[in-house]
Structure 1
Amino acid sequence: MVTEHEPRWLDDGEMRAWRNYVVGASMLAERLHRELQDRHGVSLADYELLVRLSEQHGGRMRMSQLADEVASSKSRVSHQVARMEREGLLRRRECPEDGRGVFAELTEEGVRTLEGSAPTHVDGVRAHMIDLLTREEQEVVAKVFDRVITHLRGGAHA
């Protein structure tokens, strides 16, 4: 017979931390998205793909790796890349090493879009988060989310 255990309910401090994270992360993402959309016509999700690709040699990455990098499903990234390809920001290329792999690759228009929108995004990240934190708080946030990401990806706790 399976017995259910009593949940470990959150105390007031834990609940405050959780709720502030949920609301704050949502508000931050929405603000950064709106600033990019209003000023450059690019979504925060599209901007993130452009950034990840720009950091790679040749401006390209396997679609499966790109999905992992942005913590999204392969299907969602495939649809997003297809739309961005229609907009001229990316193109898909077959992987020469194996016939099944597909690369997403930045186009010149994608590079221009990224270069034009990056200052707005960085200004927003600074104004709405980074400059509100001390260096020590930034380090704590980085360590906490390194641990959360490692845990959620199935790794050992850091």
Structure 2
Amino acid sequence: MPFAASLAELQAEASCPICLDYLRDPVTTDCGDNFCGSCIHQRWEDLQDILPCPVCFRHCLDRNFKRNVQLGHVTDLVQQLPARRSKWRLQEGKDLCEQHCQPLTLFCEKDLELLCPRCKVSSGHRGHPLTPIEGAAADHRKKLKSYNQPLKKQVEDTEKGNSPVD
């Protein structure tokens, strides 16, 4: 994997999916996702029994989070790395999100947009149907193919002088 992509993924892993900033006092929920301690406490502040994870939506059993000291140290190191906020392009030809400098790996079916992992938790796409871009590309290729066949038939009929059947 090229350096720019590795750096972007490392920065994403060191970021809170709620505030989208680097993790501060990281904690791990029952499902294994990581958040800033203050962000997850604030997110669940008014909730009683059902505590859904903001990332995977699994129900967490309680508010007793495991403090993730090692991830905190890694985040401190990541923050010292140079952050390139310009438009990056991966050598593999994949685009990076202009806002988060992460690889675009998801497709929002509602907005027909490519997203990075941090975009998927933003308020603009929360609750939208998201699919990995490979799967979305395959689905859209199938749709195009299904549209293409009748059009080819219509062109053939027109070229032969036959009028298309409605």
- Provide the TM-score with structure 1 as the length reference: 0.32
Larger Rg: 2
- Structure with bigger strand share is 2
Q: TM-score, normalised by structure 2?
A: 0.31
